[in-house]
Structure 1
Amino acid sequence: ADVFLAGITQLLTLILADKMDKLENIRSLRSLIA
């Protein structure tokens, strides 16, 4: 069960990091366009 929880936590962290990265990319793109 612990391994399962650890896997889910890792996945969530990756997904969150991916979303944050995309947000940063959008912001930098906007600043480049503006």
Structure 2
Amino acid sequence: MQLDNMKWALEPRMGQELKLVALRQALLELDL
């Protein structure tokens, strides 16, 4: 399945993306 290949290729970047999402979420909550 192509999605599995993409997931495997993006795996090293997933940690950074999750950190960015968490930071964005925290900033949104602080603004509220």
Query: Which TM-score tier does this pair reach, normalised by the shorter chain?
Result: 0.5 to 0.7
Stretches of structure 2 lacking an aligned partner (at least 5 in a row)? 1-8
Give the TM-score normalised by structure 1.
0.59
Stretches of structure 1 lacking an aligned partner (at least 5 in a row)? 25-34
Root mean square deviation, CA, Å: 1.3
> Highest CA radius of gyration, 1 or 2?
1
- Structure 1: which 4+ aligned runs deviate by more than 3 Å? none
